[in-house]
Structure 1
Amino acid sequence: MGTADVEIKGRPVDAQTRCVHYRTDLDVVAIRFACCGEYYPCHLCHEETAGHPARPWPSAEQDARAVLCGVCRHELAIREYLGVTACPRCAASFNPRCALHADLYFEASPDRTHGRRLGA
């Protein structure tokens, strides 16, 4: 299955991974959760529909491909995603306010700048 065929679980409202909780023009990422390996638009979608508690990605696994750009379907490694404000393939901007709840998706690593552009 290619990334174009990735199923987005939860409560998405469009093909660019926006959901009932986060649906601005910048809310165009889905996160593959470490606990189940499934993509969800946000932590609330996972909480409401997964049937199990979420677990953030360990800081040692930042090379895991776990972030999907909803615009071009490019899959980014966590480390790559944490270092950008837009998709490196299509230049779609990502929501900088997602940093407010990044700890729900990714454990902090000692080399990561606090408050940098983080998960949806």
Structure 2
Amino acid sequence: MTQIFGLTIDSFGRCVHYHSAVDIVANKCYSCKKYYACFSCHNELENHSFEPWPIEKKTMDKVVLCGACQHEMTYFDYQSSEKCRQCQQPFNLNCMKHHAIYFSEKN
């Protein structure tokens, strides 16, 4: 089982900052390579700020984790679906508001 770090409140990786039924996605920090429930948890627990994952056109890095089933996804898998492809749990569509925090676009 892949560990989700943060100030979590349940087994799906929901944290004290984001804990609705659809807040089940953990993102990997580029600097420390750990999955965190959210950037706020990361920044409270680490000695560096959350560094977004650089996304290139053909990257196949696994950088997103479904907290419900532990399925690791590429950025492109995650962005192309509103739910986990493995367990069908829906994702929080409002997470797109934090896109620039978790991912940096490279051409």
Do they fold alike, i.e. is TM over 0.5? yes
2:29 is matched with 33
Determine if contact 1:10/1:50 at 8 Å carries over to the other structure.
Answer: no
Q: How does 1:17-28 map to 2 (within 5 A)?
A: 17-28=13-24
Displacement of 1:6: 1.3
**Aligned-partner Cα distance in 2 for 1:30–1:80:** 14
Structure 2 regions of 5+ residues with no counterpart? none
Q: State percent identity of aligned pairs.
A: 36
SS class of match (1:67): strand
Q: How does 1:35-114 map to 2 (within 5 A)?
A: 35-60=31-56, 62-108=59-105
Displacement of 1:109: 5.4
**Aligned-partner Cα distance in 2 for 1:97–1:24:** 11
**Aligned-partner Cα distance in 2 for 1:96–1:56:** 19
TM-score normalised to structure 2 length: 0.92
**Aligned-partner Cα distance in 2 for 1:27–1:94:** 7
Structure 1 regions of 5+ residues with no counterpart? 111-120
**Aligned-partner Cα distance in 2 for 1:92–1:109:** 29
TM-score normalised to structure 1 length: 0.82
SS class of match (2:14): coil
Determine if contact 2:52/2:102 at 8 Å carries over to the other structure.
Answer: yes
Determine if contact 1:10/1:45 at 8 Å carries over to the other structure.
Answer: yes
Aligned length in residues: 106
Displacement of 1:85: 0.6
Higher strand proportion: 2
